[in-house]
Amino acid sequence: MAKKRDSWGSRLGIIMAVAGSAIGLGNFLRFPAKAVSNGGGAFMIPYFISFLLLGIPLMWVEWTLGRYGGGFEHGTAPGIFHSLWQKNRFIKYFGVIGIFGPLVIFIYYIYIESWTLAYSFFSLTGRYSGLNDLAGMKSFLLGFQGLEKNQYFSGMQAAYLFFLIAFILNVIVIYYGIKGGIERLCKLAMPLLFIFGIILMFRVFTLGTPDSLKPDWNVLNGFGFLWNADFSALKSAKIWLEAAGQIFFTLSVGIGVILTYASYLSKGDDVVLSGLTAASTNGFAEVILGASIIIPAAFVFFGPFDMKSIANSGVFNLGFVTMPLVINKLPLSALMGFCWFFLLFLAGITSSVSLAQPAVAFLEDEFDISRKKAAAIFGIIAFVLCQPAIFFLGRGVVDELDFWGGTFFLVVFATIEVILFAWVFGMERAWDEIHKGADMRVPKIYKFIIKYITPLFLFFILGMWFKQEWLPIILMKNVSCADRPFVLSTRLGLLIIFSVLVILVKIAWQKRKVLKEKGR
């Protein structure tokens, strides 16, 4: 048989790594933008319900399935699904989503992560310190992204340079493997991230009412925007879809990443308490840290109306335009700016390495390629795939990748996974499997939730999606005519990547069959 699979060095290590994957740009950029554009207090109720009925159950399902698959030397969904349902010849192909999805997210995620590294550097060197209005800061961002030639940037050399640095750092971490790379990185980065987060949170707490002419624009009202519950919005399907989508994205569940991480556990390792700890740590980073920085800061300086229109104008504007402006108004702005952007970078890199790992594990486990070689192959292919997101950023490519990789396939994959677990593997067996080596019992109610509520909730989301958005999305109704060729090419590219993965799975299984027959 092949070489020994990699493994985690300690329990704290895997919890930090899963929390590291979960805590990312989603917590500090995507969450505030979604919460603000969906009405603040209105968003939080569906958000918490989704956390309890989708997030937590899927976390346990993925940890359990990952550990189970690891026992058969499979670290990715094709092999794990096949181990669960050996009689079915097709189920392994559904597992392709568990490699495809993370790869697609990786392609654009790493580019955004590289901006945070660039802005950390710009903060320290005072590159944006003289800018004091929205228009100026926006031009700075557009110039940096290569979407505009202006007095700040004449091309995208800086953006590309920082992309290269971030990319190489990621490949190095993956090259050193689970224990030597990912675990080591997360054990260092996570505590640092929390220190930066807490510093920023306290800074925001003490902002008071900066403009005495606008007494309503104070920190308390900033928090009230998010925490004053608004029950009237529960009737809006869109808010439910967005809240559930955010739960998937932020917890890194429903896409295959946690399956892979958990496949490096041993049979007797606990998954119940560890999974819950990772999910709660992410929750803390999102609703305590993530929610206490951008939203109140933007509120006190820009007021509720402008804050909403900034959030609606693009996910990145709150983080890369509003925050630097707020920071420029504070003492020690270079240091504060560094705190903010480097926090984002740490959050980003601990997530992007997790997005890379399924593809690397697939090469290692199913093709018997060494880790170092697999990391190199991944590096070359991913590097090429990243280019359209960089050069056609303004053409809707990133939105398209985010829709398929970061939204749609998450729900599809989660549905397949939970049905396989509760209905094919069987809830009784599944319940035993979850509790192997467990340090605590899962509350009994979750047996019912995992079997009925989570799948129904997922069907509801898919149904709503088909009803409301299917046609406009397929027909690119919200894409300008000029951008359509780019969006269409992105779709074609995604189809090709998916097909190649399907073929690779077929080849891997044929090879295994031949080996088995020879062995007889």
| Minimum distance, C-beta of residue 229 to ligand PFF, in the bound complex (Å) | 24
Which residue, 229 or 412, is less far from ligand PFF as judged by CB? Answer: 412
Closest to ligand PFF by CB, 140 or 345:
345
Residues 6+ apart with CB under 8 A from 29: 294, 315, 316, 318, 319, 344
- Is 76 a binding residue for ligand PFF by CB under 6 A? The answer is no
- Judged by CB under 6 A, which of 105, 182, 200, 207 binds ligand PFF? 105
Binder to ligand PFF among 250, 260, 263, 490 (CB under 6 A)?
Answer: 250
Site string for ligand PFF, 3-22 (x = CB under 6 A): ------------------xx
Q: Pick from 27, 139, 260, 328 the residue near ligand PFF by CB under 6 A.
A: 27
Distances from the Cα of 41 to the Cα of 18, 145, 250, 307, 311, angstroms: 28, 33, 19, 15, 15
Burial of 477 (0-12, 13-18, 19+ CB in 10 A): exposed
**351 lies in the binding site for ligand PFF (CB under 6 A):** yes
φ and ψ at residue 476, rounded to 5 degrees: 55, 40
Please state the closest distance from residue 102 (CB atom) to ligand PFF, in A: 5
Please say whether the beta carbons of 26 and 249 come within 8 A. yes
With CB under 6 A as the contact rule, the residue among 6, 14, 19, 24 that binds ligand PFF is 24
User: What is the C-alpha separation between 30 and 291, in angstroms, rounded?
Assistant: 11
Q: Least separation, in Å, of the C-beta of 33 and ligand PFF?
A: 12
- Within residues 127-186, the interface with ligand PFF by CB under 6 A covers none
Q: Which two tokens stand for residue 387?
A: 């280019």
Among 257, 279, 438, 442, binds ligand PFF (CB under 6 A): 257
Distance from C-alpha of 127 to C-alpha of 148, rounded to nearest angstrom: 17
Q: Rule CB under 6 A: is residue 225 a binding residue for ligand PFF?
A: no
Contact positions with ligand PFF (CB under 6 A) in 414-473: none
CB half-sphere exposure, 459, CA atoms < 13 A = 8
Of the residues 63, 167, 249, 264, which one makes contact with ligand PFF according to CB under 6 A: 249
Size of the site for ligand PFF (CB under 6 A): 16
The verdict on 65 binding ligand PFF (CB under 6 A) reads no
Min CB(24)–ligand PFF separation in Å: 2
CB-nearer residue toward ligand PFF: 96 or 156:
96
Q: Which stretch binds ligand PFF (CB under 6 A): 47-55, 61-69, 349-357, 416-424?
A: 349-357
Binds ligand PFF (CB under 6 A): choice among 123, 354, 357, 454: 354
* Burial of residue 441, with CB atoms counted within 10 A of its CB: 0-12 exposed, 13-18 middle, 19 or more buried: exposed
Closest Cα to residue 260, out of 395, 374, 356?
356
Please identify which residue in the block is written with the tokens 């392709």. 96
Closer to ligand PFF by CB, 24 or 143: give it.
24
**Burial of 129 per CB tally in 10 Å (0-12, 13-18, 19+):** middle
Nearer residue to ligand PFF within complex by CB, 26 or 143: 26
Q: Of 146 and 348, which has the nearer Cβ to ligand PFF?
A: 348
Q: Which residue stretch of 122-130, 179-187, 249-257, 378-386 sits at the interface with ligand PFF (rule: CB under 6 A)?
A: 249-257
Q: Which two tokens stand for residue 403?
A: 């829709």
State how far the Cα of 370 lies from the Cα of 437, in Å rounded to an integer. Answer: 30
Kindly tell me which residue out of 120, 252, 260, 454 binds ligand PFF, with binding defined by CB under 6 A: 252
Q: Which stretch binds ligand PFF (CB under 6 A): 83-91, 264-272, 348-356, 478-486?
A: 348-356
Q: 77-84 vs 333-367: helix axis angle to the nearest 10?
A: 50
- Output the six-digit token pair for 449: 């939730």
| Count of alpha carbons within 13 angstroms of residue 442, beta-carbon side | 29
516 contacts: CB under 8 Å, gap ≥ 6: none
Backbone torsions φ then ψ of 96, nearest 5 degrees: -55, -35
Is residue 26 close enough to count as binding ligand PFF by CB under 6 A?
yes
Residues engaged in binding ligand PFF (CB under 6 A): 21-22, 24-27, 102, 105, 249-250, 252, 255, 257, 351, 354-355
